[in-house]
Structure 1
């Protein structure tokens, strides 16, 4: 075994090391945020329905969720830098397959591998970066990691839209290849023969496989339910039964082993259970609505990928400053109060968005998206403080591991869930539109007359009018999805008050403060 504690990197090597790890982190997160704006382009490129394109995003996020605990285990069993180097090599190989895939299932398999290999790098990279900083400067390391965490998430949709419009969606994966290989090579060279203290703990392979089976079957059920007509399909009923069986076996298994894949015994702690549930459902609706809006702006309202992604740029203005401030505020104020106010802010934002009739005006979306960015920046800190309250230090990493994995999985579930909501509500509004716009209705006559005066023939005017009806139905379905989310966030704002009161001590050792900030940062990744 090589030296366990070699001399830390200094000078240009230290700067290069920071840049490589930060860039690697940004690349992984960018492949989650930027891809959302590309979904309609992927539909055309692979000649698949929109629901199948959504499948490629949700399974990528499931790969991220499952890889996070694996990455933490490998860092303790093998050290950090070797697994990280190999993870980026696999990431480059999977990106190559994605870039040149011509069929859905080949592309889907590569996306899953891409998500899993990328997810492993998230905890490995953070741990490696923090070890290179001296104790008194770890706050700077956390600041660097925070910058690379929030930037690709907020700037991902517009940048991904620009790539899709000007270069083609496959270029997202082509760009990945040299970046991932360069990161793997440079990090490997900088830390060559670097040793580490190893913890020999058995990997819970059975728990991993059972959870993989449960999540994969459930996500497939959500992704294909609209296409297979739900309870009228024996295939979907079989998936549901398999999912419930795998999930049941997984719970029993995890409660019976000494070192489980995910420590679900933590749900016996009230604060952890409430904080994690709020984190799960809050992020589920946030991620799902983000994906729904950016896709429907393109499919229904005719936005380009870049313009649809640009709608989310206002979120970047206050997200990072607010996130940094809340790490200090949460030390002095009860986390329940901060979380409740944040959730009410989300509710107000979504009720505001649910009142729009025309999503083609940027000024109608700018202010609520600005408010949503403030809410996003203040979302994670109080919930992290809430779910970690009362846990001993040796269980806090396992708590963050479980909460973060569930949150990332919630994002995948939320994308599929909002697709289901849109699928069921749009026909209802189309029916209502048809019932209220008949040849005996004055608005119908005026609309047809206006279209005819614009140069359309009688039959073409009717076709244009029907298209207007479909667009109006889609807008109203999106409004209903936002309204439903507002109601859910009000319920979550009340749920947090069932937790025990908590307030982090204003003072503490530097190591304790840095540990808590690192844990909070890991919770909000992806």
Structure 2
């Protein structure tokens, strides 16, 4: 089958990139809208977080299934069906008039969106000529990195300017148009069908442990973690389910997730790196708008625009990194990229409450340089470490690990941020205005004693949050450092991965 050329190639490349962007975007687009959605549907904010996690869990479950689905029904058919179903369930999410309905439709949306991520990569490499494969990988990696940043921005703007259903409606025309055009242009690239039995037990065990883990992470902060019997029960279910899943998958002839790929040292090192580095990146990305909106007086739109700066240089450098990754030892590129992200994040740990938008924004802008350096060559390094026949399983498993690392990091960041803020507040409260001079000064300026104390308390809270935010950035920087070290456990790759079969 001849690869596409010219305008057709550009059109299909943009279509596949849009599909990947849309699926990844929806993991974060509701982040800044949880309180709005909860209020509109008569639910608490803690219940509203299920809007985020229901999608993430469903998506994480179907990503490893993509290889079996593509073999059984054809990669193009699965991709186009997933795209159209994603659009339909996005519309139903917007129409939902209760939280229960919204969560149910978000689960279905996540199940449809999971295959879009790996199959967009598969089809990009199938339609691009081999000499342009690095550009295809760069395009896919760029959309995967930019989408989590764009999610809160777009969600904030749509909520501020319109209403919350529009964060779901925006997917509908993109999905339906891309689905129709995609079928017309991609159907001749359909893969041959292979009828393999599905590992029902492995699938069931994966659903149990992933769902239990995600529920534990979601509810942990609200229920005071392991002081709650519910959290203990969820933790035990996740642990026992995970162990059973490992044993079953390693002994099953046709496993739903081929864990045997971890026998390759290069793949294991690459996945460890992506979990540590992407978790740190995603955690910092989630924390930034929370801090800006909650304590720096930014609107959702303004915080989104500030956060978006990290995507500018990432977009510009991704094509060059993709070409460079075929000529330079990818371990060096990944190490440099992850260390760069770590250094920028460490620099951000010296933030203060009186910073201007420029002072907050320029480190985010510079962060963009490291993102393609980390992600583009790491994908190639991981897939070049496994046998060609294992590429599909390896790519799906890597996407699953990346998704789960982002979900775990989000929970750890949210919990750590609040807990550290409480600790810093207690420490500062014992040191501030011990002689009462500040209260007296404020009262002399015309405030009542209650107003003076409220003013000091507001300052205390603001500084506590700032210290806690900086603390979390230090932790993220440490995770980046560990990721930069982990990549060197991979041997130097001897071949360039043929990822055309990757799912």
- Aligned position for 2:365: 370
Matched-pair contact (CA < 8 Å) for 1:289–1:482: yes
1-structure distance, mates of 2:313, 2:23? 23
CA contact (8 A) 1:58 1:416 kept: no
1:123 maps to what in 2? Answer: 118
Per-residue deviation, residues 371-401 of structure 1 (Å, max 9, x unmatched):
3211212111343344345422122332222
40-49 vs 410-419, greater mean Cα deviation:
40-49
Which among 218, 222, 225 is matched to residue 217 of structure 2? Answer: 222
Corresponding residue for residue 341 of structure 2: 346
Report if the CA contact (8 A) 1:349-1:371 is conserved: yes
For the Cα contact (< 8 Å) 1:226–1:423, is it kept in 2?
no
Change (3 A) 1:135 1:394: same
Residue 393 of structure 1 is matched in structure 2 by 388
Greater mean deviation of Cα atoms: 219-228 or 127-136:
127-136
1:286 paired residue number: 281
1:356 paired residue among 341, 351, 355: 351
Write the mapping of 1:210-359 to structure 2, written as runs, cut at 5 A.
Answer: 210-358=205-353
Residue of structure 2 in register with 1:468 after alignment: 459
State whether residues 126 and 500 of structure 2, in contact with CA within 8 Å, keep that contact through their aligned partners in structure 1. no
Deviation of the 1:171 alpha carbon = 0.7
Cα RMSD, aligned residues only: 3.0
When residues 322 and 517 of structure 1 are mapped into structure 2, their CA distance, relative to the original with a 3 A threshold, is farther
Partner residue, 1:104: 99
Counterpart check, 1:31 vs 2:26: yes
1:408 aligned partner: 403
- Residue 207 of structure 1 and its aligned partner are, at CA, apart by 1.2
Residues of 2 paired with 1:468 and 1:344: CA distance? Answer: 34
- 1:78, distance to aligned residue in structure 2 (A): 0.7
* Structure 1 pair 25–385 and aligned structure 2 pair: CA distance change class (3 A): closer
List per-residue Cα deviations over 1:479-520 (Å, max 9, x = no partner).
1111122223223333333333x1556xxxxxx67x35996x
Match of 1:488 in 2: 479
Q: TM-score, normalised by structure 2?
A: 0.89
d(CA) in 1 for partners of 2:395, 2:190? 26
Moved more, 47-56 or 63-72: 47-56
Q: Is the 8 A contact 1:61 1:411 kept in 2?
A: no
Unaligned stretches of 5+ residues in structure 2: none
SS of 2:65's equivalent in the other structure is helix
TM-score (norm 1): 0.86
Q: How far did 1:408 drift?
A: 1.1
CA distance in structure 1 between the partners assigned to 2:499 and 2:237 by the alignment:
39
Match of 2:54 in 1: 59
Q: Secondary structure of 2:63's partner?
A: helix
Name structure 1 gaps, 5 residues minimum: 506-511
Cα distance in 1 for residues equivalent to 2:142 and 2:382: 24
Aligned CA distance change for structure 1 residues 11 and 483 (closer, same or farther; 3 Å) = closer
Q: CA offsets, 1:399-427, max 9 Å, x none?
A: 22211210111111111111111131111
CA–CA distance in structure 2, aligned partners of residues 394 and 167 of structure 1:
48
**Pair 1:382–1:83, CA change in 2 (3 A):** closer
Task: Give the CA deviation at 1:308.
Answer: 1.2
Shift of 1:246: 0.7
Which has the larger displacement, 267-276 or 44-53?
44-53
